[in-house]
């Protein structure tokens, strides 16, 4: 069975973008692949975190994974910081990454371009740690939203470089990007990604938003003055984004939705999507509450750690041997 791995940072609330771009894919593939899903808490501290909030966000993220439908019988669910091999391999791969290639990574480039002053060294080396996450488990596939594609490509380059120098060590992974929903846009500015750290919370639907509040956000989503419902990312990015959200939640194809709404205005379309989002969040949050009250989260993490560490420690030992750290055979 091929192996698949992905992670999400426990920073701020999870958005509908995270669900559509990442989590819904994990669920879709959990029967088909040997699946590893983790909480990228080492990555989260590349920007300042409040420890209390981090703890809370971590617990919520695990409960959300489960509420969304990840089955701990099928998926190994774990905390990145529980497996010290991530940090160890992260360092080794940092030493096999070039300044130039890290400088080209969008996240760092954007923050520098904006003139942000408190950028940590960790934010710069972040992609090398992400490479370690993936290569440690010999993942064949990495399901992510489009924004992470360049990190998986960098991972491939680092893996090839390492294999060339030390002999076959790592599997070369492939990104898996969803056909619909690889980049859900902000409801307030549909030319920007819907993001956890959106300046206006009206632009993002959080998975733990009150369903009625989320519905209002859909109703006030920015569209255009063209007035025709069709899928045109360039000229009508707001409507294209709404159609995408509809299609993912309703499982109806975009063409069918467009056809059904051919004689309708934007208000009607928004109303239907508002209801879909309302129902989706209500159900998800009911399950979320149940899971949080059940105490299952601790047990899932304990089991996940046990399963993940067996693979990770075997790999890190091999890597240490290859680079010349282990002197006793
Ligand atoms: P992050 O919140 O940055 O840890 O992202 C976790 C996962 O969600 C990654 O696979 C991202 O590519 C994906 N993701 C984040 N925001 C969006 C979005 N607006 N649309 C689609 N996927 C997203
Ligand atoms: N960098 C990813 C993000 O911001 C999170 C992440 C960390 C990840 N390590 C990973 C995703 C390994 C996939 C595989 O979304």
Contact 121, 90 (CB under 8 A): no
Does residue 195 belong to any structural domain of this protein? no
8-12, 112-116, 277-281, 309-313: range with lowest mean pLDDT: 112-116
CA of 17 to the centre of ligand 1 (A): 6
Asked if residue 162 and residue 90 are part of one domain, the reply reads yes
Catalytic residues: 111, 193, 196
- Provide the pLDDT confidence category of residue 96 given band limits of 50, 70 and 90: very high
For residue 191, the CA-to-ligand 1 centroid distance in Å is 16
Q: Identify whether 197 is part of a domain.
A: no
**Residue 123: CATH number of its domain:** 3.40.50.620
Which residue among 148, 180, 186 has the greatest number of ligand 1 atoms within 8 angstroms of its CB, and so is best to mutate?
148
What is the domain-level CATH number for residue 248?
A: 1.10.240.10
Ligand 2 within 6 A of CB of 144: yes
Of 299, 297, 300, 305, nearest in space to 80 by CA: 305
The structure tokens listed for 22 are 């990442």
Residue 243 within any structural domain of the chain: yes
Q: Give me the helix-helix angle, 149-166 and 121-135, nearest 10°.
A: 70
Residues 156 and 54 in one domain: yes
Q: How far is the CA of 215 from the centre of ligand 2 (A)?
A: 29
In a domain, 190, yes or no: no
| Residue 262: domain span | 211-289
Q: Is 326 helix (H, G, I), strand (E, B) or coil?
A: coil
CA distances from residue 316 to 65, 114, 262, 325 in whole angstroms, order as listed: 27, 37, 57, 11
Residues 98 and 236 grouped into a single domain: no
Mean pLDDT rounded to a whole number for the chain = 96
Task: Give 39's pLDDT tier (boundaries 50, 70, 90).
Answer: very high
- Asked if residues 229 and 270 have their Cβ atoms less than 8 Å apart, the reply is no
**Residue 148 counted as domain residue:** yes
What local confidence, expressed as pLDDT, does residue 303 receive?
A: 97
Q: What is the pLDDT of residue 199?
A: 66
Q: Do residues 260 and 306 share a domain?
A: no
């Amino acid at each position: 069975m091929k192996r698949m791995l992905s992670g999400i940072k426990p920073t701020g609330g999870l958005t509908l973008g995270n669900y559509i771009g990442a989590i819904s894919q994990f669920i879709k593939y959990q029967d088909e692949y040997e699946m590893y899903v983790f909480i990228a808490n080492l990555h989260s501290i590349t920007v300042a975190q409040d420890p209390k909030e981090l703890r809370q966000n971590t617990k919520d993220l695990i409960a959300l994974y489960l509420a969304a439908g990840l089955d701990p019988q099928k998926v190994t669910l774990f905390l990145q910081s529980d497996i010290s091999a991530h940090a160890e391999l992260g360092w080794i791969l940092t030493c096999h990454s070039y300044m130039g290639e890290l400088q080209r990574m969008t996240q760092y480039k954007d923050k520098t371009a904006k003139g942000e002053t408190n950028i940590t060294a960790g934010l710069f080396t972040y992609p090398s740690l992400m490479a370690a996450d993936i290569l440690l488990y010999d993942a064949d596939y990495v399901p992510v939203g489009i924004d992470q594609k360049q990190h998986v490509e960098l991972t491939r380059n680092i893996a090839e470089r390492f294999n060339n120098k030390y002999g076959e060590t790592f599997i070369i992974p492939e990104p898996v990007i969803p056909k619909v929903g690889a980049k859900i846009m902000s409801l307030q500015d549909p030319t920007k990604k819907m993001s956890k750290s959106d300046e206006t919370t009206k632009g993002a639907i959080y998975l733990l938003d009150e369903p009625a509040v989320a519905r209002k956000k859909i109703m006030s989503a920015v569209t255009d003055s063209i007035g025709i419902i069709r899928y045109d990312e360039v000229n009508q990015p707001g409507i294209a984004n709404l159609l995408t959200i509809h299609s993912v939640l309703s499982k109806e194809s975009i063409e069918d939705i467009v056809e059904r709404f051919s004689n309708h205005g934007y208000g009607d379309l928004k109303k239907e999507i508002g209801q879909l989002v309302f129902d989706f969040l209500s159900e998800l949050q009911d399950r979320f509450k149940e899971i949080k009250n059940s105490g299952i989260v601790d047990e899932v993490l304990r089991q996940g750690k046990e399963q993940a560490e067996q693979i990770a420690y075997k790999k890190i030992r091999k890597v240490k041997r290859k680079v010349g750290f282990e002197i006793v055979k």
